[in-house]
Amino acid sequence: MNDKVIGIIGGMGPQATADFYMNLIKKTNAKRDQDHFRVIIDSNVKIPDRTEAILHNGESPVKAMVETAKNLEMLGVDVGCIPCMTAHYFIKDIEREVSYPIINAFVEVKKHICEFYPKIKNIGVLATTGTIKTGLFEKYLINANVIYPKDATQKEKVMEAIYGSEGIKSGVTEGKPVQLLEEAANELIDKGAELIILGCTEIGLVLKHEYMGIPLIDPMEIVIDTLITG
C-alpha cells in the first residue's frame, strides 16, 4: 500500500509541477485509485523568481517557499519534494523550518550516476544560469568533469528556450525551444559530454532521450522513483 502522503512544493513553474505529478501517477504501480499515493500540491506561482534572486539580488523566494512548505506540513505530508532545480539552492532554508524530510534532487542524481554510470566522468549540464552560478552541480558531482554550454549558447539558446517569448515558461513546448535545446545539447556532446543532466524542470518537458545519442538524466524522474520506492 502506498500509504505515505507526498507534498509538492510547486509553482516553479506550474507546468513543471503538473508534469511532475502526472509522471508520479504514471510511474506508480496502481490498479485502482486507492493504490496511488495521496499527494498534496501547493502550486505557489507567486514565489519570486529563483534565478533573479541568485543572479541579480532580486526578491528572495525563501519566505514564500517556507510558507508553501508549512502549508503542506499543516496538511500532514510525510515527505516533500521541489520540482525546480534552481530552488534547491535554498533547500536547507526550507528544511529547517518544517518537520518532514524534503528529497534533494542533487543528492539523488549523484546516487543515480554512481549506481548506473560509474565510469562516466564527463557530464554535461543544461540548466538555468542561476543554477549554474550556484555551483551546485560541482558541489555534488565532485569526481566529475562538469561541462556547461558556452556563455553565448547559455544566454541565446538555453535561457531563451526557457524564458523567451516563445519559451517553455510561456507555454511553448514544441518547435523553437526544442531546437534551441537540441543545439545546446549537441554543443555539450562536441565538448566531450558522455551524459547530459537536464538541470531545469522546464528542459525536461521538451528535451527527450530519443533526440540525443547519449544518456539524458532528468532529475525529476529520479526524485519520483525515490518517492515511490523510498
Grid cell digits, residue 179? 531546437
130 contact partners, CB below 8 Å, separation of at least 6: 50, 51, 52, 53, 54, 55, 86, 89
d(CA 96, CA 157): 36
Selected catalytic residue, list 9, 16, 82, 84: 84
CB 87 within 8 A of CB 61: yes
| Start-to-end C-alpha separation, the chain | 13
Look up 114 and say whether it is catalytic: no
d(CA 52, CA 133): 12
Selected catalytic residue, list 200, 212, 224, 227: 200
Grid cell digits, residue 221? 524522474
Report the helix count and the strand count for the chain, using DSSP H and E.
12, 7
Look up 200 and say whether it is catalytic: yes
d(CA 28, CA 22): 10
Geometric angle at alpha carbon 170, from 61 and 40, rounded to 5°: 50
Catalytic residues: 84, 200
